[in-house]
Amino acid sequence: MADKFPMANVLGIDLSPIQPKWVPPNCSFEVDDTEKEWTHSVNYFDFIHIRNLAQSISDWPRLMSQAYLAMVPGGYVELVESTPPLYCDDGSMKNDDGNKIYCDRLVESLERIGRPVARLSAMMRYLEDAGFVDVEVFKYKQPVGLWPKEKRLKRIGAMCLLSCETGYEAYGMAFLTRILGMENEDALKLCKDALEAVRNKRVHVYGYMYVAYGRKPEEYY
């Protein structure tokens, strides 16, 4: 974003200092918790992008309210979420598939702690309840693994596979052991089984990427 719009100041916020050191001069990062009180002034941002936080936010109405106040009239907010449930159109994914079991357990754990997986209807409601208008939602298939034949979809699947190679254990160990009570060894095995399933090109699975946009009215005072 900073490269594409050199006239803009781009600010990235995360809980951990994991960002790259080499960035454009108009890009900076802050370590902060977006669920706490925002320190930015009213009517500060032209565009706010919130991605893959469904499992991290306990109070979406408050977050959207703060985003609304910090947004300039006419500015846009964008919510982007990937969904853990897996889908398969040709029956190649069986019930004992490691990836399916892993994702089913993730959905179960998120339900237990009151942070369910993203839903388009909920994302739309968050934006509209906060006061955003012209809300639009989009749903995209996101293949997982190298099984697609079409070049663009195969690249997307490869990026998902790359993410799974470190992400399954990084995401999985906490919810499998702390929430579902699994032993460490069993949780590690499930993470490895899930990764092996993703690498199997004979299994044609995909998830969904949800995108929701909303605009702050220009007549806001």
User: Given the structure tokens 């799974």, which residue do they identify?
Assistant: 164
The predicted-structure confidence for 73-84, as pLDDT tens digits, reads as follows 999 999 999 888
pLDDT tens digits for range 21-71: 899 999 999 999 999 999 998 999 999 999 999 888 989 999 999 999 999
Q: What is the pLDDT of residue 220?
A: 54
pLDDT in tens, 114-157: 888 889 999 999 999 999 999 999 999 999 999 999 999 999 99
Q: How far apart are CA 196 and CA 175, in angstroms?
A: 20
Q: How many CB atoms lie within 10 A of CB 138?
A: 11
Q: Which amino acid is present at 175?
A: F
Q: Mean pLDDT score of the chain, rounded to an integer?
A: 94
What is the rounded distance in angstroms from the CA atom of residue 10 to the CA atom of residue 103? 33
Q: How many residues does the chain have?
A: 221
Q: State the pTM of this model.
A: 0.89
